[in-house]
Chain A
Amino acid sequence: MKFLKWALIVLMAIILAVALFAYRMQQGVKQMSVYNGDWSTIVNTGSENANAIERATIAIVGLLASTKKDSIYYRITSVNGEPLSSSCTYRLEGGQYNANWWSVTAYGWDNHLLPNPQKIYSVNSAQVGDQWRVRLSAEPQDGMWIPLGPAHVAAKVWSKRGDHDFDLLFRLYTPSDVYLNSPQSAPVPKLIKESCQ
């Protein structure tokens, strides 16, 4: 009986520890994030100065990330508070950004590339000029297009986490000082929701 009592106490302590850890992780992501409109970027990735919670957060959200001087990542999961949906069409537009090179890649809610027979997952600095526009949609689009996967793939939601169907990751390699010093106001692509089914 005494053993059972202590086993229950330890079990409850473990549950509390996991819940507290998950909460601290969420807070850690928020505290380490800088917002630039709907885009956010985590500072401190790869830093030796990170504390235990930051280090654990980085291990989960950005394992093997480089230092900021090497690369900076911005992520977007919603537009004007509305989670990105694979049943909508979005327009992504922008220019050239001050870095050695850059790319914007679409990922499913499971953190993997969105399956599509065209094998188009991203737009990068070598593909576009000074002004560019790309559409993101499950349906084929004229001009540059990043498929959000066939509709039946988006429907596989049995173990989906979070509200968004997909997100975009804007990577800048060897970013200029404006991204290192002012990530909250540096130029980033603009994402606009055009229509939904």
Chain B
Amino acid sequence: MKAVLKYGVIIVVLGVALHWVLALMVPSLAMNVAYDRVSVNGPNQLSTISEVDHDARKVVRPSPDLLYGACAYDLSKGDLMITADVPKQYWSLQFYDMQTNNFAGITNQRDEQWRSDSKVNVLLSLEPKMAITTVTNIVAPHQKGIALVRLSNLEKSEASMQALSSVTCEIAKS
């Protein structure tokens, strides 16, 4: 009886500890899966989803009213430069680290409406860079992560497609 109680306590203590380990591991596991899907052709390259229909099964719960551009980045190879022509309609560029933290983002909404109809140049680096007026410098907390562009495609317009095709993601030229 004592042995059963002893092993029962061990199982419960170990189980509770392991469930915390699992909770801590899940975000990076999920991000690694997403990272691998986005970087099929290697990191620091843009991958786009320009037509969201029922055959788009790589992404869970895709919005048919959005266009997506994703870049799985790896800053061990250098700083990353993302450029894009920001359209009038909803446009957002969000940065996620490998722990799922949305650590930075720029958009053409709210107090950033001035970005509409302009070009953005974002330099993602591990350390702050010298200020250049035409370049927005974002400091990443870690080497790897995902940059995600979302833009509305409510009217399935050519302008939306052009805005998506204007996005580039590559290692910055030094």
Instruction: Answer whether A and B are interacting partners.
Output: yes
Interface residues of A (CB under 8 A from B): 9-10, 12-18, 20-21, 24, 46, 48, 52-53, 55-56, 58-60, 63-67, 69-70, 100-101, 103, 105, 107, 111-116, 119, 121-122, 124-127, 169, 171, 173-174
Taking CB atoms and an 8 Å cut-off, the chain B residues in 90-140 that contact chain A are 90, 92, 94, 96, 99-103, 105, 107, 109-110
Separation in Å of the B12 CB from the closest CB of chain A?
Answer: 7
Size bracket of the B interface: 35 or more
Chain A residue contacts of B92, Cβ below 8 A: 66, 70
Tell me if A112 and B60 are in contact (CB < 8 A): yes
Tell me if A52 and B20 are in contact (CB < 8 A): yes
Cα A14 to Cα B34 in complex, Å, equals 25
Q: Majority SS of interface residues in chain A?
A: mixed
Separation in Å of the B156 CB from the closest CB of chain A?
Answer: 10
Separation in Å of the B94 CB from the closest CB of chain A?
Answer: 6
Cβ of B36 within 8 Å of any chain A Cβ, yes or no, is no
Q: Which of B24, B26, B56, B90 has the most CB of A within 10 A?
A: B26
B57's nearest neighbour on chain A, judged by CB, is: A112
Cα A121 to Cα B66 in complex, Å, equals 12
Give 12 pairs: A residue, B residue, CB < 8 Å, sorted on A: A13-B10, A18-B22, A52-B20, A70-B107, A100-B90, A101-B154, A107-B61, A111-B61, A112-B61, A112-B62, A125-B154, A171-B65
Tell me if B64 and A105 are in contact (CB < 8 A): yes
Known: A9-B14, A13-B11, A70-B105. A174 touches B110 (CB 8 A): yes
Interface residues of B (CB under 8 A from A): 7, 10-12, 14-24, 26-27, 29-31, 34, 52-54, 56-57, 60-65, 89-90, 92, 94, 96, 99-103, 105, 107, 109-110, 146, 148, 150, 152, 154-155
